[in-house]
Structure 1
Amino acid sequence: MREALSPPLYLASTSVYRQQLLSKLTTAFTAVKPEVDETPLPAETASQLVHRLALAKANSIASTLQCGLVIGSDQVAVFANEIIGKPHTTENAVKQLTRFSGHTVTFLTGLALVNAETGSAQVVVEPFDVTFRHLSAAEIDAYIAKEQPLDCAGSFKSEGLGITLFSSLNGNDPNSLIGLPLIRLNALLLNEGVNVLL
């Protein structure tokens, strides 16, 4: 059993994917649902959006605490200068993957770490490029039926069968594709004096 981190660590997310990722670094954290309106602002770029929402999610939890470090994260896909969100329906997932076939999609993951005691915040935006191979309609239908990626930006789960949709991946941290860039998060934690190895 690992000892609890000091200060306490909070994840401003109820996403099972983000919780599983954070568990690779430490199991000593509490997941809390943030109350944040995720509607994009007028003329807001994808990078500005994930930066703002990651910080807002972390602050929404940090504001209720006396102490502790709060992790916030948000992710969007960008294709043809358009922000691509979660498909929510099979029909939308088919449309997304059909558009992506043979093309590269950039995923932007905003990551924030807020110190609830001092109010200090670190925020980064991690890009990751995914190039899709040419996909047939039958492959797209079969993939969606098997994995049901309706709650995933871009309509795939890279940690599962989604990997079969790609011809290449390009980025610093494949964990960012799933929603939490652990390499950058570890660096932010070290800046706060938290070393998960010690």
Structure 2
Amino acid sequence: MPQRTIPSLYLASTSVYRQQLLAKLTPRFTMIKPEVDETPLPNETATELVSRLAIAKAQAVAGNLSEGLVIGSDQVALFNNHIIGKPHTSANAYQQLSDFSGQSVTFLTGLALVNAQTRHIQVITDPFTVHFRQLSAAEITAYIEKEQPLDCAGSFKSEGLGISLFSKLSGDDPNSLVGLPLIRLNQLLLNEGVNLLLG
């Protein structure tokens, strides 16, 4: 039985982290930066926000293509049901991590797959929760100095030294925490008739 040709895959992102994750599934994809306004809409929930932006990113790239599958993704971090952003400064990072000490933060990732030829859209949201251990002031300060997580929502890099801040991780796919839930993505590709194992 001849193998089915895998359609061109596009990642609507310039994130190095998402690029590295997608490369686990396949080396054959093209990264394209989507031009999307990421401003939340009034009264928009976190789930609505990440779903809308994941679709918007994928559609922004798919709109310029005649074929192929486009992957869009967006993520927010939630603490006490409030979206938390990137700290940008060491002082803000210290405050965030102090607040998280002994608490939990949930990352909600929106994932969309758009068929550029048929315009068919699939979208899911995938939650992943990190549970912080009790952190001392010295530990927080040392972590920020060592890893400088100022451009990361929640002030930590789970793929690096940030893992030392946690007591437990809860979720279906640890890749979701970094920004691209590969288990769910693989299912969306299978729904489109694409089996990366057989391609």
Residue 138 of structure 1 is matched in structure 2 by 138
1:132-178 per-position Cα deviation (integer Å, ceiling 9, x unaligned): 00111111111111111122221111111111000111000000000
For the 8 Å contact 1:69–1:114, the answer to whether it is kept is yes
Query: Residue 10 of structure 1: CA displacement?
Result: 0.3
Q: Does 1:84 align with 2:90?
A: no
TM-score by length of 2: 0.95
Q: Secondary structure at the match of 1:76?
A: strand
Residue 172 of structure 2 is matched in structure 1 by 172
2:55 corresponds to which letter in structure 1?
L
Q: Give every structure 1 segment of 4 or more consecutive aligned residues whose post-TM-superposition deviation is greater than 6 Å.
A: none
Residue 128 of structure 1 is matched in structure 2 by 128
Query: Residue 88 of structure 1: CA displacement?
Result: 2.1
Q: Over aligned residue pairs, what C-alpha RMSD do you find?
A: 0.9
Counterpart-to-counterpart distance in 1, 2:54 and 2:146: 30
Residue 158 of structure 1 is matched in structure 2 by 158
Counterpart-to-counterpart distance in 2, 1:59 and 1:35: 10
Counterpart-to-counterpart distance in 1, 2:188 and 2:142: 40
Structure 2 gaps of 5+ residues are: none
Count of residue pairs brought into register by the alignment: 194
Structure 1 gaps of 5+ residues are: none
Counterpart-to-counterpart distance in 1, 2:46 and 2:114: 21
Counterpart-to-counterpart distance in 2, 1:113 and 1:89: 34
Query: Residue 56 of structure 1: CA displacement?
Result: 0.5
Q: Does 1:67 align with 2:39?
A: no
Counterpart-to-counterpart distance in 2, 1:34 and 1:96: 29
